């Protein structure tokens, strides 16, 4: 069933567990993610990155189809715009049928970030749409530009931002990075940042860059107050590995058959992260 992101995260916040937000980019990735959630009887959030829709499948093409998949699901499904960096695009997404939007105006000066975010919050709430924003900066494993101490969220600034904008959900930077972690590398999490923001605001909080962070880090972050865990790279990596294996075995194999072989490995990764997050059997449907 298609629901607001807020309804999923409010319950996770009350009961102190994490919900997976999987980066999807087409019908196949959306389908496998929902099937994984159904098998685990878990609520799920589908994250659609603004950049992907601008360069690959446009919003007006991919969103209606994914909405239909969500509406037919036997668990709660929210559809969230990820890293909405363009004000007009975010507003369009709200009106188009997303049930959550992440407003990312971090490239603007702080006061301007607050003004734009507050304006979007007002519009989104008129449509019953949940608003997420991020305070702090996230690094990336590509080029070894990992998140460092200078990029961590300042808890006091996050608290001020939440209070001034009225956002429903806040993403924090406290040790994770976007991308696939190098083999054997486990980032160091600073969960005291999460604890301070949670204690002062009480709202659902978000971990971006969940791929490869390790079971202990993710579960410690949930205990500290994280309720939404973004995972993309590990799921896509599972699909890419499956493709490579199939091409290596038989380069002449039918493309449709090859694509079908990528769904099960990716679905198993999603199911494993659902277990780690604590949302298995949390669907109320």
Residue 135 lies in a domain: yes
Taking 70 as the threshold, does the pLDDT of residue 114 lie above it?
yes
The answer to whether residue 178 is domain-embedded is: yes
Asked about 82 being catalytic, the answer comes back as yes
CATH code assigned at 91? 3.20.20.70
Spatial separation of the C-alpha atoms in residues 236 and 22, rounded to whole Å: 10
The per-residue pLDDT for 252 is 81
| Total domains present in the chain | 1
283 domain residue, yes or no? no
Query: Known binder of ligand: residue 237?
Result: no
pLDDT in tens, 69-98: 999 999 999 999 999 999 999 999 999 999
- Tens digits of per-residue pLDDT, 64-75? 999 999 999 999
- Domain residue limits at 266: 5-277
208 is in an annotated binding site: yes
- pLDDT confidence of residue 139: 61
pLDDT tens per residue, range 199-250: 999 999 999 988 888 999 999 999 999 999 999 988 988 998 988 888 888 8
Is residue 178 a known part of a binding site? Answer: yes
**Could you tell me which of 62, 72, 74 has the C-alpha nearest to residue 29?**
62
Give the active site residue among 82, 154, 160, 234: 82
| Residue 19 is assigned to a structural domain of this protein | yes
Spatial distance between the Cα atoms of 175 and 186, rounded to a whole number of angstroms: 10
Residue 252: inside a domain: yes
């Amino acid at each position: 069933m298609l629901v607001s992101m807020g309804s999923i995260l409010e319950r996770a916040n009350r009961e102190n567990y994490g919900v997976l937000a999987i980066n999807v980019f087409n019908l196949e990735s959306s389908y496998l993610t929902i099937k994984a959630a159904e098998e685990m009887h878990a609520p799920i959030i589908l994250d659609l990155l603004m950049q992907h829709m601008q360069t690959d499948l446009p919003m007006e093409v991919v969103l209606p189809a994914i909405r239909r998949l969500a509406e037919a699901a036997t668990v709660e499904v929210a559809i969230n715009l990820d890293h909405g960096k363009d004000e007009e695009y975010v507003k369009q997404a709200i009106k188009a049928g997303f049930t959550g939007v992440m407003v990312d105006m971090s490239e603007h000066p702080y006061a301007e970030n607050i003004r734009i975010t507050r304006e979007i919050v007002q519009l989104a709430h008129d449509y019953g749409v949940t608003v997420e924003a991020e305070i702090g900066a996230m690094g990336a494993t590509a080029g070894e530009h990992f998140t460092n101490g200078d990029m961590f969220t300042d808890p006091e600034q996050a608290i001020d931002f939440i209070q001034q904008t009225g956002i429903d959900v806040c993403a924090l930077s406290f040790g994770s990075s976007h991308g696939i972690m190098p083999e054997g590398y486990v980032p160091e999490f600073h969960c005291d940042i999460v604890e301070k923001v949670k204690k002062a605001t009480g709202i659902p909080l978000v971990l971006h860059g969940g791929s490869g962070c390790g079971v202990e880090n993710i579960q410690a972050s949930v205990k500290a107050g994280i309720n939404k865990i973004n995972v993309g790279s590990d799921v896509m990596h599972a699909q890419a590995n499956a493709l490579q294996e199939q091409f290596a075995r038989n380069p002449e194999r039918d493309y449709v058959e090859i694509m079908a072989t990528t769904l099960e490995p990716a679905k198993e990764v999603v199911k494993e992260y659902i277990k780690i997050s604590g949302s298995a059997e949390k669907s109320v449907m």
